[in-house]
Amino acid sequence: MYDSTHENVVTKIQSPDEKAVVLTFDDGPSRLLPRFLDVLKQENVPAVFFWQTRLLHPQRPWQRVLDEGHIIGSHTVKHRNLVELPKEEQYKDIKNSITAIEQITGSHVRFFRPPYGRFNAETLQVTEQLSLTPVMWKIASMDWELKNDPERLIANVTENLENGAVILLHELPQTLEALPGLIAAIKERGYGFKLL
């Protein structure tokens, strides 16, 4: 579980009408992206993808991401720890990332997730300057540590479900393997899926 005390950092959405959560995927676009999109399409689940723009080649299926109703946000250019950078470097990295996404996809970037979940006051000043909403998470799947245990990944999420929670996932093989079961388990507990 994670929760930010900063009022401008999103970890939950308001969902008064129905119980719902937000799936977010970091560190793409990966070679596995088409298969993630296949699962999401089959299950009719929207998601938010936070991409490192060093991986965003024009041939990646970014158009499909947008066409199928998902959101693309920035995860910087190369996943550097922002708290180790001066403000000017943070600004440059985040700005270059947004510019790359917008030039390739033609879609406006509104959301940003800091690498490693690390940010400081200067990061928040930069996101405000760039009219970005910083997004963290309420529930971490810990998928990056669970290469051989997709069931634990599912349990990490379902044991901590709460209405409006933003869920942290990554474009990893083990996450892809667990995704259909994860979506089913969330639905079984009466939750739907929304975007930010």
Cis-peptide into 29, omega within 30 deg: yes
Compute the C-alpha angle 116/172/25, nearest 5°.
55
On the question of pLDDT at 195 being above 60, the answer is yes
Enter the pTM of the model.
Answer: 0.96
Q: Residue 2 — very low, low, confident or very high, per pLDDT cuts 50/70/90?
A: low
Q: Which residue has the higher pLDDT, 46 or 15?
A: 46
Work out the average pLDDT over 109-131: 96
Task: Name the helix (H) or strand (E) containing 166.
Answer: strand 166-170
Domains, the chain? 20-193 (3.20.20.370)
pLDDT digits 0-9 by tens, 73-98 = 999 999 999 999 999 999 999 999 99
On the question of pLDDT at 1 being above 60, the answer is no
Work out the average pLDDT over 18-24: 96
What pLDDT is attached to residue 6?
74
